[in-house]
Amino acid sequence: MNDAGVRRVDDAFERMRIFADRLVGVVHVDRYHRPDLELLTSMPVAAQPAGHPTREYLERWARATDIELDVMYEHAAFDGVFSHVRAGAAIGFVSEYVVRRSGDAERFTILDLQGLALQRSITALYRSDADERTRGLVELLVERCGSSRSAPELTLASAGDGDVS
């Protein structure tokens, strides 16, 4: 499996996108208020450690948006970052997939942050002559991970009428 964004694949291999994901700013519903950018500058932030590619992207976005982030909590893993959101202690920047699969996604609100657009595709790369078990595994991954049917809906902060993202 690969999330490195391979563009060219040798003819001996096939690839199938398992799912697409994006970086989101998320807050516990009990701590949410509008406007989202004001909330972001008034609360501590949980993010990846300095030097991590996701953190570097986040810092570039913040500079371009002309806001200062108060990164109080650092974790290399999205689950570690998300633990501070669960506790209501911070706004976290995590994979939307982590929030959707958390089991209690209705307790969180995704912030509407213009220009925050870091996305990735998780892709299976396998030999073209792969046996049926390998192909079956890839299809199972697409069904389980790529399916939004079983994933809870998340409220997008800009959706005042209850729309979901």
Tens of pLDDT, residue by residue over 84-95, are: 999 999 999 998
pLDDT confidence bin for 149, thresholds 50/70/90: very low
Three state DSSP letters for 11-23: CCEEEEEEEEEEE
Residue-wise pLDDT for 15-71, tens only, equals 888 888 899 999 999 999 999 999 999 999 999 999 999 999 999 999 999 999 999
The first and second tokens of residue 144, run together, are 């389980």
Residue in the structure block whose two tokens are 């890839």: 138
Cβ-based neighbours of 133, under 8 Å, separated by 6 or more: none
CB 90, CB 46: distance < 8 Å = yes
Q: Span 13-156: which CATH code?
A: 3.40.190.290
Residues 6+ apart with CB under 8 A from 45: 69, 70, 71, 72, 73, 90, 91, 92, 93
